[in-house]
Structure 1
Amino acid sequence: MSKFEQISAHIWIMHAEHETDRPILAAIVGERRTLLMDAGNSPAHAGLFREALKRRGVKLPDLMVLTHWHWDHTFGMSAWGVPAIAHSGTVKTLRDLARYHWSDETMKTLVQQEMLSAATVKDMKEEYGVESERSIEIIEPDVQFEDRIRIDLGGISCEIQHVGGDHSEDSCYVYVREDKVLFLGDALGPSVYGGPRSYTSAGFLSLMDRLHEYEGVQIFVESHGVPVSRDAFLADIGEWEQLARLVALHGDDRERITEEMAVHLSVAELPETFAEAIGWFMVGVERGRTLGLRAAGGDGT
């Protein structure tokens, strides 16, 4: 069952549900306008949030902003009927996806082309049902930006900044300055399309540099997690930042990275979470080497 919560003076959220990869949705309510952060992974998902807002007397969204193009954040757009704001990369990808008819065969082809993953298709089929009942309408956003945009809602403002990263090149942070809340979307996650999951140390550390610029944030929200306090978030993400720095220092020396990370955590054996993440970083190192060889005119072998 969906959990609805007010996390600050102006922000209401519906928590993530993992059965069909539903991310957090948020309503940021100003004196003049309500901004929806992300549209949901389907009209059904969007409808649950709309009804929750109505039951609590919260003013419904007048416009929405998208953190990135992935289906779970955007395929519910048709249910809202309000103008949408997104990075130009998000707009381009949704425009491309809008030409597809979402049959089982189409989904299979998109997996083969590495535009989607098998896990994504599984979640989409569970969310939308069998092919004969499936209706997916992709909407192209109305307003696009390149670097950042600020939205005045009346007494409260939202700043959307493009940050990129491995998860999706169009990823954005959404900062509600007056409430000291930063929505991170999925930006800090690994890539999920285009081949095996991967991280790059440069990509992750760039995201951390951007994150540290938000000195006033007291609540951090990742789309498939739960809102956490500043101290708790920085303590957790600091360990991941250290791992990225070790990869930047040692490259593909997995054994040395594992040993030094275990020392950093003061453990005899590295937890599985970090062992798995090192594997993602190793994929990123190999991809970077291959791209470097191609740029230099080599064959990548």
Structure 2
Amino acid sequence: MLNKLSNSIYYLPNQDERERPTLGVICGDNYSLVIDAGNSVKHAREFIAEVEDLNVPPIKYLVITHAHWDHFLGMNEFDATIIVNTLTNQLIKDWVNLSFDDVSLQSYVEENKMSSLCMEVIKNEIPKRESFKLKNTDISFEKSLTIDLGNKICLIDRVRSTHTDDSTIVFVPNEKVLFLGDSAYGTTKNKLFHYDQDMLLPMMEDIKKYDAKDYLLGHESICDLEEMNVYWDELILANQATQSKSIESALERFKINNKREPNENELFFIKAFVNNQILKSQ
């Protein structure tokens, strides 16, 4: 069920057990804009049905926040102009010519082009897979784009990120609402979950410049400004403590710097930064 953030902004919360990210809709006087397309045909159709029940202006635009499959595989279901940044456009093109029959899906998994989880979602939630073809996007932008939905401005910007190189955010200035997608998260490489330490402060600089009071994230749904600031602070303290591949050294440095043990979140971030040091050494 859609959650109401304001009279013009609604979101469908993430469902991590089904690998479903948060989907959002922003409604102006004339048109509506959707953030992310869902991880499958079924996910997208359920979301569209919920939006139709709101009796809001028609969906004219769909913004894909980045080219991870769980955010764009439902995009065929939207009768809308699909907006992406230029790098996201290039990455999604790699999916346009894929086939989705069982044999092809298995081959993509074996070639590390697709995760086994993605394959299972496709099998379960995309009907008529043998004839399914992902369509192309419509508009690609380099740095930023402004959309007026009718007395509702949406700023669509590409930001630096610890998650991907192609992260896009959507900001609604008069509501002070920022849709972050997955831009504030880490990512997995060589089976190691990590945060890119070199990109951490640039990412925070890009995101903090928006005068937001509510933040919609891909896999936590909604956070307020206080919660986001706690998140940033914990990341910074963990980052400052981690300067090598040694978890023991990082923990000791954290205790010296902060005169306490790390909390659960900080410990998670320290481990991720240690993994980043390991990846950098490979």
The answer, yes or no, to whether TM exceeds 0.5 is yes
Q: 2:74 aligns with which of 42, 55, 76?
A: 76
Q: 2:248 matched to 1:252?
A: no
Contact 2:241–2:270 under 8 Å retained in 1: no
* 3-state SS of 1:159 partner: strand
Listed as ranges, the matches of 1:52-201 within 5 Å are 52-128=50-126, 136-192=132-188, 195-201=191-197
**Quick one: percent identity of the two aligned structures?**
24
* Secondary structure of 2:59's aligned partner: coil
State the TM-score, normalized to the length of structure 1. Answer: 0.84
Q: 2:37·2:64 contact (CA, 8 Å) conserved in 1?
A: yes
Asked if 1:284 is matched to 2:266, the reply is no
Query: Relative to structure 1, is the Cα distance of residues 59 and 172 closer, same or farther in structure 2, using a 3 angstrom cutoff?
Result: same
- Could you tell me whether the CA contact under 8 Å between 1:151 and 1:158 is conserved in 2? yes
CA distance in 2 between partners of 1:67 and 1:255 (Å)? 36
Deviation at 1:145, TM superposition (A): 0.7
Whole-angstrom CA distance in 1 between matches of 2:123 and 2:261 = 42
| 1:171-250 equivalence runs, <5 A | 171-192=167-188, 195-214=191-210, 216-247=211-242, 250=243
Contact 2:30-2:57 within 8 A present in 1 as well: no
Deviation at 1:39, TM superposition (A): 1.0
Post-superposition Cα deviations, 1:241-295, rounded to whole Å, max 9, x if no partner, equal 3222333xx2334323223435667654652x544433332332233344xxxxx
Output the CA distance in 2 between the equivalents of 1:231 and 1:270: 17
Point out where structure 2 has 5 or more consecutive residues left out of the alignment.
Answer: none
- For residue 36 of structure 1, the aligned residue among 34, 37, 46 is 34
User: Cα RMSD between the aligned structures?
Assistant: 2.5
Q: CA deviation at 1:175?
A: 0.8
Q: Which runs of 5+ in 1 are unaligned?
A: 291-301
Q: 1:295: which partner in 2? A: none
- Does the residue aligned with 2:5 lie in a helix, a strand or coil? strand
Distance 1:126 1:259 in 2: 47
Query: Can you list the C-alpha shifts for 1:42-79, whole angstroms capped at 9, x where unaligned?
Result: 12111111111222212231111110011111111110
Distance 1:113 1:195 in 2: 15
1:105 deviates by 4.2
Higher strand proportion? 2
Aligned 8 A contact 2:13 2:23 in 1: yes
Give the number of aligned pairs: 282
Match of 1:293 in 2: none
Q: CA deviation at 1:113?
A: 4.2
* Distance (Å, rounded) in 2 between the aligned partners of 1:141 and 1:194: 30
Change (3 A) 1:33 1:56: closer
SS at match of 2:188: coil
Q: Is the 8 A contact 1:46 1:79 kept in 2?
A: yes
Residue 25 (structure 2) aligns with: 27
Alpha-carbon separation, structure 2, partners of 1:124 and 1:193: 23
- Find the aligned partners of 2:254 and 2:279 in 1 and give their Cα distance: 22
CA shift in 2, pair 1:260/1:20, >3 Å: same
